[in-house]
Structure 1
Amino acid sequence: MYIVGSAIVPATTRQRKKSFLRRLIIPSVATAVLAYFGFHALNGEFGLVGRARIEREVADLQSQLDVLVAERQELTARVSLLRPESLDPDMIDERARLNLNLTQANELTILRPRVLQQQH
């Protein structure tokens, strides 16, 4: 204690030595935060592993789209052959035989049994 004028002032200039554990708080919290974000950067939904999964899904969906586009183009071409302004005799013959169940005398017919759907 010091005496300043007529007042007694406690001595506050004495410093305490910081403990070893107190020095590790900020670095350990920073390391934990970096580990958390690093883990999610690799394994998160949009991380490196997630990005590879998303790219695989995009490739699968693109191949499905290509198949569907080709099928649609084929159907569009077949429908265009049935339009009145551009009738194809072979297409008319094919549709008539299918719908009327007709064949020519010199053709071979293979009969397949139909699978009847069960009524619910």
Structure 2
Amino acid sequence: MIIRTRWRSILQTVTLHLGAAALIGYFAFQGYNGQYGLLARRGFEQQRAELIEERDTIRAQREAIEAKVRLLSSERIDADMLDEEARLLLNLVHPKDLVLLRSPDAERAP
């Protein structure tokens, strides 16, 4: 009987240690490769950097458009801006302007 209890105690100890090692291994694996692990964090940081860059680009475009709208506001109209927009929309040129015509092939050449 003493032998059985000794084997049982050794088996219980080994089982406990193996179970603890398996649990630690599982959490270590998930901490590195899991959905929110270290590898995923690198991807999140890269995605965050791309989104910040896109946000800054869009913000700069919005600020440029807002500045243009401010120049065309009803309280204070900038004559040059109004003239430029009118010529662009109507496809007209002032008689005193110098116009340079380029062939479409010249635009493609480096």
TM-score (norm 1): 0.72
1:91 aligns with 2:65: no
- In 2, are the aligned partners of 1:103 and 1:109 still within 8 Å (CA)? no
1:104 to partner: Cα distance: 2.2
1:61 aligns with 2:51: yes
2:107 maps to which residue? none
1:59 to partner: Cα distance: 1.3
1:19 to partner: Cα distance: 6.0
2:19 maps to which residue? 29
Structure 1 residues 63 and 39, CA, compared in 2 at 3 Å: closer, same or farther? same
- In 2, are the aligned partners of 1:43 and 1:50 still within 8 Å (CA)? yes
Separation in 2 of the partners of 1:72 and 1:98?
A: 21
**Number of aligned residues:** 100
1:112 to partner: Cα distance: 8.2
Misfit runs of 4+, over 3 Å: 109-113
- In 2, are the aligned partners of 1:43 and 1:49 still within 8 Å (CA)? yes
C-alpha RMSD of the superposition: 2.3
1:99 to partner: Cα distance: 1.4
Larger radius of gyration between Structure 1 and Structure 2: 1
Separation in 1 of the partners of 2:84 and 2:103?
A: 18
Gaps of 5+ in 1: 1-13, 114-120
Separation in 2 of the partners of 1:69 and 1:24?
A: 62
Selected match of 2:99 from 71, 96, 108: 108
Separation in 1 of the partners of 2:98 and 2:91?
A: 13
Higher strand share: 1
2:42 maps to which residue? 52
Separation in 1 of the partners of 2:68 and 2:103?
A: 25
Higher helix share: 2
1:10 maps to which residue? none
1:109 to partner: Cα distance: 5.3
